[in-house]
Amino acid sequence: MSESAKRDSNSLMRALPEDLRQSEVVQAFLNEPLPTVTAMLTAALAMGREQMVLAGGRVAQAILRGRAMIQFGKELEDLHQKGKLRENYADTKYGFHSLVDLLKLIEEETPDDDKMRTAKALFAALNAPKVDEGEAIARYQLFHLVLKLSGSQLLLLSICHAFYKEKHFNDNSIQPSTQNWLNHVATRIGHNVHSLIVQDEEVLMRYSILTPRTWTDGSGVNFTNARLTDVGVRMCELIETYSHDIPGPTEASASSRTSVAQ
């Protein structure tokens, strides 16, 4: 690992709670696969190990937070080296603010891999070279919208984007009803709990990412663009384009363990 990466790791590690920063448990677990960490935490709790009993949940959160911070530091360096971020992005109108927003996301939410990867993709899109000011305004707003969404809402968004690319609803034989839309989404997700889909749909409609339901009783939908608004289409296009530069969960986990070990 380069000297700058080591400095990044040391700096990011300071985001851990002060009383856990030097914890041998936390430091050791940062270098282990999550299944191993889970098994060791469970065993320590069952054995009544004092540190685990008194701060088990906080230790687990600190481990996730520390791993995410270290991985993000490494990815920032990698994006810089590949020329995927503009050299002076921190000096731009939204550059440093977007960095702070991402660090706060890790610190306060400890998001799942899907949300974190999507947020990083929008961060890369916002701070990419040759993005003019007008486009940066739009990308910053889209970046902030992504930060407000949950992993399941982002999953629903990705399914709608897949339908959009496949022209899934262009067949006029499909009645544009809410029930039909829910059935198609449920089949693609792999479960039939429509109420869960409806909860996420409501959030995406509230942020004007999906078009609202139609008919007076809300039993219809508009299948144009698979229900994606212009905001939804643009967000999905940016996520798809810039996600290629962000490692997937398996790659990130292996890379993070290598960085800590070095």
Summarised one tens digit per residue, pLDDT across range 137-171 is 999 999 999 999 999 999 999 999 999 999 999 98
Is residue 135 one of the residues assigned to a domain?
yes
| Whether residue 121 is found in the same domain as residue 169 | no
| Whether residue 99 is found in the same domain as residue 29 | yes
Confidence category of residue 11, pLDDT binned at 50, 70, 90:
very low
Is residue 235 one of the residues assigned to a domain?
no
Confidence category of residue 40, pLDDT binned at 50, 70, 90:
low
Question: Would you say residue 17 has pLDDT above 60?
Answer: no
Tally of domains in the chain: 2
Is residue 234 one of the residues assigned to a domain?
no
16-38 average pLDDT score: 56
| Whether residue 73 is found in the same domain as residue 8 | yes
| Whether residue 180 is found in the same domain as residue 247 | no
What pLDDT sits at residue 248?
Answer: 67
SS3 177: strand
| Whether residue 36 is found in the same domain as residue 84 | yes
Confidence category of residue 9, pLDDT binned at 50, 70, 90:
very low
| Whether residue 221 is found in the same domain as residue 257 | no
Residue 158 domain boundaries: 151-228
249: CB partners within 8 A, 6+ apart: 113, 117
74-100 average pLDDT score: 91
| Whether residue 168 is found in the same domain as residue 144 | no
Question: Would you say residue 240 has pLDDT above 60?
Answer: yes
Is residue 27 one of the residues assigned to a domain?
yes
| Whether residue 19 is found in the same domain as residue 77 | yes
Give percent of the chain with pLDDT exceeding 70.
Answer: 70
Per-chain mean pLDDT for the chain:
82
Which residue, chain included where needed, has tokens 């540190």?
A: 51
8 Å CB contact between 245 and 82: yes
Is residue 144 one of the residues assigned to a domain?
yes
Question: Would you say residue 128 has pLDDT above 80?
Answer: yes
| Whether residue 198 is found in the same domain as residue 132 | no
| Whether residue 205 is found in the same domain as residue 135 | no
**How far is it, in rounded angstroms, from Cα 73 to Cα 81?**
13
Q: Name the maximum alpha-carbon separation found in the chain.
A: 64
Question: Would you say residue 204 has pLDDT above 80?
Answer: yes
Instruction: Specify the pTM.
Output: 0.76
Is residue 121 one of the residues assigned to a domain?
yes
What pLDDT sits at residue 1?
Answer: 45
Is residue 238 one of the residues assigned to a domain?
no
| Whether residue 169 is found in the same domain as residue 221 | yes
| Whether residue 33 is found in the same domain as residue 50 | yes
First-to-last C-alpha distance (Å) of the chain: 6
